[in-house]
Amino acid sequence: MKIIIHGGFFSESSTNNETKVAKQVALLQIAKEGHAYLQNHSALETVIYTVSLLENNSLFNAGIGSQIQSDGKIRMSASIMDGTTLKMSGVINIEEVKNPVFVAQHLLDCEDKVLGGSGATAFARKNGFEVFSTEIPQRKAEYEAKVSGNGQGTVGCVAFDREGKIAVATSTGGKGFEVPGRISDSATVAGNYANEFCGVSLTGVGEDIVSGAVAAKIVTRVTDGFEMKEAFAKTFQELKPIDGFAGAIGIDKDGTIFHQDSHPTMVFASYDGENSEVFQ
């Protein structure tokens, strides 16, 4: 049983040691908490739970602490994919919910599995998700100063359970100051994809990730027989012509954990019950 999570990219990793340490501690703690949950839950249940922990931590740009768009509103996106059933569900540009990943979870059993904008928000209200503002003072101050605090912020989780099943979930608060209606990669197969062979979650610049179809490419290559390292390397090589800004985490059917980024520094942590790794 293994788990790996990411918390996006951030410049503070090299300029603000206090912030760096805070994120290292938080990610490792959440990875271990997610792994403990995995002991008695499926991979699918675990990625949903673990991403909700990341959404609840204002250090990261998802859920609480999400970026503010150019019109002063916060719109979030999240998705889930079950590698066993191949069901994917998600919400795009949903407003005023605490945990977008839980709304995505609710959509897994619906016929229409990916909803956007006002439709996603209306679905959330109809199904008991209360109005909740995810704006924090830091984001408001950044917006008023016309400064984006973290343009490549996304959180994600890949889990491998005791039955060898894989699942993935990804959530984002956007890049900040984007045009309302902009679609990120997080609720697409470019940013979040899994099957029985591999699961991958992305963070970075959504437009680059979509252009590279990154998650789907990596998973497809592993399915076709590539080793994880090879699948990641080839896919990231294909991002170079556009100087693609991306970071990815993954686990394959053998429980192999892998991560790679195209630019420093993706923040991540992994845990398998004995060994842990956290970004440096």
Strand 114-116 to 88-94 pairing: parallel
Tracing tokens 């990154």 back to the chain, one arrives at 214
Concatenating the DSSP letter of every residue in 134-188 gives ---HHHHHHHHTT--S-TT-EEEEEEE-TTS-EEEEEEE--SSSPPTT---STTS
At position 125, the amino acid (one-letter code) is R
Tell me the C-alpha distance between 186 and 202, whole Å.
Answer: 7
Tracing tokens 């979040």 back to the chain, one arrives at 192
Could you tell me which residues come within 8 angstroms of residue 99 by beta carbon, excluding any fewer than 6 positions away? 52, 55, 56, 63
Tell me the C-alpha distance between 253 and 185, whole Å.
Answer: 24
Please give the helix or strand (H or E) that residue 215 lies within, else none. helix 214-223
Residues acting as catalytic residues: 154
Running DSSP on this structure, what letter comes out for residue 112?
Answer: S
Running DSSP on this structure, what letter comes out for residue 61?
Answer: S
Tell me the C-alpha distance between 247 and 152, whole Å.
Answer: 10
